[in-house]
Structure 1
Amino acid sequence: MVNTTDYVGTLFDDTSNPNKITVAYTMAFKALEKGHSAALILMVDAVYLAKPNSLDGVDIGAPFEPAAKLLEAFVEKGGQVLVCGACMQHNGVAESEIDPRFTIISADDVIDMVMGAKGSLQLT
């Protein structure tokens, strides 16, 4: 079971949609900056973003920071990156392939986190 958090962002797209990736990490980091706990859940095709260095080159330009920089700042400040285990299985992403700082979660965990959060943002 994953801990509850104040803010939950869910991301569904891979690098084919850099705008959504950037906004997801930007908003999750902003939640941390405002003193909230925050988690970003990678679901559907976003599970490919759980692989190390997958955000390299994702940069939509000013006023936004590059996605890899946002990820590092988010994790460093205590943000959780969570990865849907069923989505990983469906997309053929093995546990050994994902960033060791990330946590694999179940559908039950997703529901519990979203229902227990003070706020959420779904980027679908």
Structure 2
Amino acid sequence: MKTVDFVTTLFDGAANPAKVTVAFNMARNAQKKGLATMIVLMVQGVELGLPGATEGIDVGQPFEPVKDMLAAFLADGGRIGICKSCMIYAGFTEDQIDPACEVITAPDIIDLLTTAKGSLQIT
């Protein structure tokens, strides 16, 4: 697994748009500072790895809609990791996950967090 400089873990999905927005905003800002960044989606957050799942998540100013932040994040080399165990627990399969996302294991997540320069856990 290729490590990154900054990891944001997100445990919530679309039912908590404020937390989703803050997670993507912080990851995007880490990326703007030149940090290789990954957002790791865990627990209910794995639903955001489905195609189109960020559509309609918009808490308003001063934040951009999540779908726009996601598009810019990916275009600038950001990575989205999906916790495999959480994905299975939530009833999803790898075939359902957006191909822009990486399905990763618990050991991968530990490696990412312990080698990153910084992290933010949003639970």
Equivalence for 2:97: 98
Calculate the aligned-residue CA RMSD, in Å.
Answer: 0.5
Moved beyond 3 Å, runs of 4+: none
Equivalence for 2:15: 16
What code does the residue aligned with 2:106 have? A
What code does the residue aligned with 1:32 have? Q
Counterpart Cα distance in 1 of 2:35 and 2:85 = 28
Residue 90 of structure 1 deviates from its aligned partner by 0.6
Residue 52 of structure 1 deviates from its aligned partner by 0.6
What code does the residue aligned with 1:52 have? P
Residue 116 of structure 1 deviates from its aligned partner by 0.4
Confirm or deny that 1:57 pairs with 2:56: yes
Residue 21 of structure 1 deviates from its aligned partner by 0.6
Q: Which runs of 5+ in 2 are unaligned?
A: none
Q: Secondary structure at the match of 2:81?
A: strand
Identity of aligned residues (%): 46
Residue 60 of structure 1 deviates from its aligned partner by 0.2
Spell out the pairing of 1:1-124 with structure 2 (5 A cutoff): 2-124=1-123
Counterpart Cα distance in 2 of 1:101 and 1:54 = 13
Residue 120 of structure 1 deviates from its aligned partner by 0.3
User: TM (normalized to structure 1)?
Assistant: 0.98
Counterpart Cα distance in 1 of 2:85 and 2:43 = 9
